[in-house]
Amino acid sequence: MSAAAIFFYLIAAFILGTGILAVTTRKIFRASIWLLFSLIGIAALYFWLKLEFLAAVQIIVYVGGIVVLIIFSIFLTIKSGDEMQKPLLVRSIFSALAVVFGAAFIMRLLQKYPFKLNTGKPFELKVNDIGTQMLDTKNFGYLLPFELISMLLLAAMIGCIVIAIKHKEPENNLPNQTI
Amino acid sequence: MNLTLLLLFPLFTAFAILFAKGLKQVRVIALIGSIFQLLLAGKLLMAYYQIKAQGNQSQMVFEYIQNWYAPLHLQYHIGVDGISIAMILLTAFVVVAGILVSWKTEQLSKEFFFLLILLSLGAYGFFISLDLFTLFFFLEVAVIPKFLLIGIWGSGKKDNSAMKLALMLMGGSALILVGILGIYFNTHTEAGIHTFDLLLIAKMNIALPIQKIFFPFAFIGFGVFTAIFPFHTWVPDGHASAPTAASMFLAGISMKLGGYGCLRVATFLMPDAAHAYSWIIILLATIAIIYGAFATMMQTDLKYINAYSSISHCGFVLLGIGMLTKTSIMGAVMQMVSHGLMTALFFAAIGMIYSRTHTRMVAQLGGLLKAMPFISSVFVIAGLCSLGLPGFSGFAAEMTVFMGSWQNPDKWFRLATILACASIVVTAVYILRAAGQTIMGPMVNKEHELLTDASWNEKFAAILLIVGIVVVGIAPFWLIDLIQPGTEIIMSKLGAVALVK
Amino acid sequence: MSNPIFIALIPILPLTCFLLLGLFGRKHFSTTSGIIGTLSLFISTILSFATAYQYFFQTGKINGVYQKIIVFKYTWLEFAPNLSIDMGILLDPITVMMLVVVSFVSLMVHVFSLGYMKGETRFATYYAFLSLFTFSMLGLILSSNIFQIYLFWELVGVSSFLLIGFYFEKPSAVAASKKAFIVTRFADLGFLIGILILAFYAHTLDFGILIERLSVISSPYLTVINAASFLGMSALSWGLILVFIGGAGKSAMFPLHIWLPDAMEGPTPVSALIHAATMVVAGVFLVARLFPIFALSDPGALQVVMYTGAFSAFFAAVIACTQTDIKRVLAYSTMSQIGYMMFALGVSKYSGEEGLGYMGSMFHLFTHAFFKSLLFLGAGSVIHFVHSNEMKDMGGLRKLMPITHISFLIACLAIAGIPPFAGFFSKEEILMAAFESNRLIYVVALITSGLTAFYMFRLYYSIFWSKDASVKNHHGEGTISMKIPLILLAILAIGSGLVPIASFVTADGLPITSHVPISFSIVPVSLALIGILLATRLFKNSNDLPVRISQQMGGLYTAASRKFYIDEVYLFVTKKILFNLIGKPAAWFDKHIVDGLMNLLANSTAKVSELIKGFQSGKVQDYALYFFGGIASLIILFIYLWQ
Amino acid sequence: MNEVPLTHILFLSTALFFIGAYGLFTRRNMITMLMAIELMLNSVNINFVAFNKYLYADKLDGIFFSIFIITIAAAEAAVAIAIIINLYRSHHSIDVEDATELKY
């Protein structure tokens, strides 16, 4: 067991531990913090895999962006109480069963599947390779997806604004429909 | 004689009705259209005689093929033989009578007459089509107007029975579709392609196991239209809550679609299976006859009486077809024609009584002979015809069925024939009970005295149907000669098949 | 033989008269319809007499044997190449005799009804129905095809239904007409099945060929039909007995007689025509028509005919003695006399001298038609005079109604079998035939003839004698048109005995020469006289003796007067068994089970949809779970099951 | 590096995925459901990256995939939160059990 392997299992345990906690704690704020730690763990995993660029992106976008966004939304909806309701017993039993069964099934599949490991030269990630291939149009370049993604992000932003905008209720004409 | 004219006329009348305004215009157009149709049917008969006189021995005359949809080999293949001409004449008679009887329907009159004509269009198309798909197409065209006619203009629990009728007929047509497709996919012409064409399929013999699978589908499917035993429950409710003209069409024409279909599609195309299953058909038919007759005895509503008696009479049709002898098939076709006319007349009479006394309960009616002599005599004639009095069409048809079914040497079939014969006694009982209570006897409630007798349109409708009944009753030989060649060809197919059982 | 047009005209005339009066009667011919009906019938009577004359004296007899002549034949409904209903006219001795009888009696009834039915509102429809009946009866007699006779059989049944139910306001008349039609219809069912059996084995429906194929011993058809057996009896005897049941229904033989007494609800001239002379003898005519098959090929069936006839004769005579309604007495006496004819056929053999029974039966049919219709018409004029059917309202009418009285007396003497009158000759023939072949039947016949004399004179005395007239003579005995038929029929009641039927109408066509020795007829005549004396003693002048005797007889008397409760048995059978045990369950079964099944189908789909609805709970996470479950099962399916 | 076999990394990602799934099924609060979804997306990322590193060392497609997933995850989170806020406004609670109008 080399140091790297031990290190990997540590990271793995950390990720899964924080993941389980994020999913089961009753306090919503604490759950978001556990999520934060789990994402950081994943970034550490990328570092372990020597994919520094990806780890950086992970930290910036996920940890910096999405978790912060989630915490904001928690604040916005704090009035509904910090304490989350207890999950329905029936549903949690069923979902636990389903999850365990799913995991066991897939893990067994993975074990049986003969992966042809890469025998050529070892993988090493150079950031400029990513850059060139990202904007390349010819040999399997990702320019088209890149453009699409940007449009998607724009659409998402506009969508969020439109949905979340607070309509000033025109008091007079709209009859007060009860839901 | 171009057969598509037979379809164009109703179509044209239907459109003309849509543009007419007010009840008066609508009913006049409908009447003219249907009378033209009747004349056309007469001309068709004359042309048929001419062609047969010139020695044209082909099974179908006035054939016309037009490609509908090449990839699926769908053809608009129409043609006529003796049996279909008899059916067309019957439909023409009942349509004119139906339109005359519904002369005073104020409620949504335009749509009413439009649907009646559409129903007749479906029937005409069905009787002349020689392509299984066109046959099915026109069968469906005929089902939808029935639902609307009963649902909107009906009486009593009309929407319930309209729904029941439509669903059961749809169920039936679903079975028919399965049967037709079964046949389609098991036919391979020389060019190796499947075909819907009736005449081509008739030439090929489909393998017995396949026939044994798809024959029940086709027969039970068409049987639902002819009130075969377990699927007859739509008949009493459907007829009882339908308006007069609709129940005339329903009993007079749409039950014949089933009988004709059983004969033309099920028995003609799958003769071996017909022999194999003949005992089931006869069992169901006998049950229908006896059970229908006994159930009728207990009914108190006039329309229910006629509806149940239609089940019993259509049982004769199925018995005739089930027996698979030449005479019994001829009897089945005659019974279809005679029952069509007679039940239309019976419903017309009941409709007239109902429109005057506003009650169909036999207990509340009595002694109408004094108040309405014409309608009562029409009622009595219809009753006597349905119990098989010689001189009316009922007798000739039933006797042919009995004689035909007796030819079949099987011991159990003999018992079935005897039971069917016994039904003429039970028919006599319920007809006389109904006639005795409504027509004869003392006047039950006083205000029936001042009821008016039949107006000109009702008189003309009744006379038209009575003429039809008497012509078939007095001189059945012309109908026999008309049907003879058709049954001969069907029998040649059936005869060729050894008695399987 | 004049051309067939004249013979065909005999039934066609009443038919045209029916159509004319039926369609236009009410409006145009309401009063003149009687004249039209009678005139048209008069012409057809003349034609029938002419045909009879020509047949018997000119063309019928070829080398000594009367032939069956097919005058006219047209295929009406062709079932198979040689099997078809064809409308034809067949002339043979019994047809021609019946032709004469039916047309003459019908003419008398038409004339009588001119007076009797004068005030009726539906006068035209009455004459229309009467002509329809005459048409169908004449058609029945002339038919040459067994299905054609069945066709006219049904028409006769319907016209009797219409005539019995003529006074349709009276519920009893409506019920009686319904009962008559249904009972005869039940018998026709037997007749139809009999025809089917005979036609199937003989491959023909034509009378001539049918008889020839089934009566000649060597014919292959006979061996086939005898070989085929069903429940022990050969197909031939099944066919013949079923055909006889058809005849028995129409002729009101024992089990199927219940409709005849109720048929008296119709107008009396109708009873005179239908229930005395014509329709009720149709059964005898049918058995006579098929007699060669009965006699030569299947004596067993003939035995059945004999015993039914004998029992009906005796049974009806006993009941007739206890009835109070004069028309019901006459109805039962008709039933008894037809029983005579039936067992006369039963005892007879086919050829030569043993054919005496057949000839006697036909002779009795001939004479009975006249004096029985006379009795009914007499009763009609009495009822017309007294306006009631019950004996107790009558009495001492001999002075008020002289002609009716004398004609009624003549008819009673004739039916009782007193020598100079017609009844004596025909009854002697029958008694002789019975004496030669079956002693038991002979004894029963003797007793019945005694009883006949008794109840006829009981009727005679209680109408014309016993107490003096309680009703005053407010209007005459009836118009001329009512008197002429009575006189004519009275003459015939005497004369018809002298007609030498023996030389004309016999089973095999050869005339029978032997005469009944006088010594033989002493016993029956004396029995008849005893009956008459007994009746005079009891009923000539009203005394309490009959009442006391009836009390002594006690149960038997009440049973007889209640017609041995046969009606109640039939009512029980139809009401309880047919209606409650089969009808109601069938209707209930249909409404609840079969219909229920369909509704169940509909409701069950509704219920299933109710259940499944729960899955659409609106909860996102449930959906996610179902989604996950779906994926998991698909994966398993593809990986493991789909190899 | 290669002491740790590929399957172990895949076990990790599977376990993370099913933890996310469990969270998605049982959590009654919408935001926590969102978090669970983020976890599931991350586990997919791990998979891509692991396959790319262990099986197709010469290509970079796995990496590109996970980059695109990250961006989409961001957009998706933003839209989800907008919906949650809107739901909060109308239902005054973000409990998933209350929003059941779309039922039978």
pLDDT band at B191 (very low <50, low <70, confident <90, very high): confident
- Of C245, C246, C258, residue with least CA distance to C316: C258
H-run or E-run covering B54 = none
Positions in chain C whose pLDDT score sits under 50: 1
Which chains touch C (3+ CB pairs under 8 A)? A, B, D
Give the residue from D2, D6, D10, D22 with the most A CB atoms within 10 Å of its CB, the best one to mutate. Answer: D22
CB atoms closer than 10 angstroms to residue C228: 14
Contact residues on chain D for A77, CB-CB shorter than 8 A: 31, 84-85, 88, 94
Q: Is there a contact between B395 and C168 if contact means CB atoms under 8 Å apart?
A: no
> Chain B within 8 Å of C175 (Cβ-Cβ)?
yes
pLDDT of residue A80: 61
Q: Cα(first)–Cα(last) distance of chain C, in Å?
A: 95
The full DSSP string for A96-130 is: HHHHHHHHHHHHHHHHHS------SSPP---HHHH
Among D10, D81, D93, the residue with its CB nearest the CB of A110 is: D10
List A residues 93-152 in contact with D (Cβ-Cβ < 8 A): 94-96, 98-100, 102-103, 106-107, 110-111, 115-118, 120-123, 125, 129-130, 133-134, 140, 142, 145, 149, 152
Does D62 contact chain A (CB < 8 Å)? Answer: no
Q: What is residue B501's predicted lDDT score, i.e. its pLDDT?
A: 37
Chains B and D in direct contact, meaning 3 or more beta-carbon pairs closer than 8 angstroms: no
pLDDT of residue A172: 55
Residues of chain B with C-beta less than 8 angstroms from the C-beta of C188: 424
- In this predicted structure, which of B277-281, B459-463, C503-507 has the lowest mean pLDDT? C503-507
Residue C617 to residue D103, Cβ atoms within 8 A: yes
The minimum CA-CA distance between A96 and chain D, rounded to whole Å, is: 6
CA distances from C473 to C385, C486, C514 (A): 8, 20, 51
Higher pLDDT pick, B63 / C61: B63
In this structure, which amino acid lies at residue A60? I
What SS3 state is found at C77?
strand
Confidence (pLDDT) at B500: 41
Residues 584-643 of chain C with CB under 8 A from chain D are 613, 616-621, 624-625, 628
| pLDDT number for residue C355 | 78
For residue C61, the SS3 value is strand
What pLDDT was estimated at residue B36? 93
Q: pLDDT above 70 covers what percent of chain B?
A: 99
Region B104-117: what's the mean pLDDT?
Answer: 89
Nearest beta carbon to residue D60 from set A39, A133, A156: A133
**Which chain A residues have a beta carbon less than 8 Å from that of D60?**
125, 129-130, 133
Query: In Å, how far is B477's CA from the nearest CA of chain C?
Result: 5
Q: B78-80 and B61-64 as β-strands: parallel, antiparallel, unpaired?
A: antiparallel
Between chains, do C632 and A105 touch, taking CB under 8 Å as contact? yes
Nearest residue to C317 via CA among C300, C335, C343, C299: C335
Pairs of residues, one from chain C and one from chain D, whose beta carbons lie less than 8 Å apart: 25
C171–B367 C-beta distance less than 8 A: no
Contacting residues of B for C164, CB less than 8 Å apart: none
Contact C271, C113 (CB under 8 A): no
User: Do the chains contact at D25 and C619, CB–CB below 8 Å?
Assistant: no
Residue C174 has its nearest CB partner, among B388, B396, B441, at: B441
Lowest mean pLDDT among B5-9, B140-144, B189-193, B472-476: B189-193
Name the residue facing D100 among C613, C619, C625 (closest C-beta): C619
Give per-residue pLDDT as tens, B145-158: 999 999 999 888 88
From residue C453, how far is each of B64, C287, C450 by CA, in Å? 81, 27, 5
Q: Subunits that touch chain A (at least 3 Cβ pairs < 8 angstroms)?
A: C, D
Whether the Cβ atoms of residue B412 and residue B386 lie closer than 8 Å to each other: no
Residues of chain D with pLDDT under 70: 1-2
Mean pLDDT of B376-398: 90
Chain D, 68 to 97: residues with Cβ < 8 Å from chain A are: 68, 70-79, 81-86, 88-90, 92-95, 97
Q: What is the ipTM, given to two decimal places? A: 0.76
Looking at the complex, report in whole angstroms how far the Cα of residue C642 sits from the nearest Cα belonging to chain D: 25
Tell me the β-bridge partners of B67: B75
What's residue C643's pLDDT?
A: 67
Distances from the Cα of B489 to the Cαs of B58, B216, B257, B270, C81, in angstroms? 10, 22, 20, 14, 16
Minimal C-alpha gap between B124 and chain C (Å): 28
Of D27, D42, D84, the CB nearest to A39: D42
CB–CB of C221/C197 below 8 Å? no
D-chain residues within 8 Å CB-CB of C613?
104
Average the pLDDT over B275-289 and give the result.
91
| Set of chain A residues whose Cβ sits within 8 Å of the Cβ of D36 | 23
Asked whether the predicted pLDDT for residue B415 surpasses 50, the reply is yes
- Least confident residue range of A74-83, B317-326, C144-153, C566-575: A74-83
The 3-state DSSP class for residue D57 equals coil
**Nearest C-alpha in C relative to B385:** C158
DSSP letter string over C338-366? Answer: HHHHHHHHHH--SSGGGGHHHHHHHHHHH
The mean pLDDT value of chain A amounts to 85
pLDDT (tens digit per residue) in D58-76 = 888 889 999 999 999 999 9
Contacts of A102 in chain C (CB under 8 A): 628, 632
Average pLDDT, chain B: 88
Question: What is d(CA C465, CA C474) in angstroms, rounded to the nearest whole number?
Answer: 19
Quote the minimal CA–CA distance from A154 to chain D in Å: 9
pLDDT range class, residue B178, cuts 50, 70, 90: very high
> Which chain C residue lies closest to A103 (C-alpha atoms)?
C632
Q: Name the residue among C621, C622, C632 with its Cβ closest to that of A102.
A: C632
pLDDT at C1: 47
Q: Under an 8 A CB cutoff, do D75 and A153 touch?
A: yes
Q: Which residue among A28, A130, A149 places its CB closest to the CB of D68?
A: A149
Cα dist from C578 to C6, C376, C581, C582, whole Å:
48, 35, 6, 5
Query: Do the beta carbons of residue B324 and residue B350 sit within 8 Å?
Result: no
Q: Which residue of A105, A110, A112, A113 to mutate against C (max C Cβ within 10 Å)? A: A105
Encoding tokens for residue B211? 């026939």
Q: Do residue C83 and residue B403 have CB atoms under 8 angstroms apart?
A: yes
In chain D, residues with a C-beta closer than 8 Å to the C-beta of C617 are 100, 103
Sign of CA dihedral B80, B84, B90, B96: negative
Look at the alpha carbons of A31, A33, A36, A37 in this order and tell me if their dihedral is positive or negative: negative
Greater confidence (B27 vs C66) lies with B27
- Partner C contacted by D85 (CB < 8 A): no
* A-interface mutation test, from D32, D55, D58, D90, most A Cβ less than 10 A away: D32
Closest by CA to B115, choosing from B1, B14, B21, is B14
Give the pair of three-digit tokens for residue C463. Answer: 């109408």
List, for residues A121-143, the tens digit of each pLDDT value: 777 778 888 888 888 888 778 88
Alpha helices in chain D, H assignment, sequence order? 6-26, 30-54, 61-91
- Which residues does chain A have within 8 Å of residue C635's beta carbon, measured at their own beta carbons? 105
Q: Do residues D104 and A90 lie in contact, with contact meaning Cβ atoms separated by under 8 Å?
A: no
Partners of chain B (3+ Cβ pairs below 8 A)? C
Among the partner residues C178, C583, C594, nearest to B230 by beta-carbon distance: C594
Query: Letter for the amino acid at C167?
Result: Y
Q: Identify which of D25, D100, D102 has the shortest CB distance to residue C624.
A: D25
Looking at the predicted structure, is the pLDDT value of residue B499 above 50? no
H or E, element range at B366: none
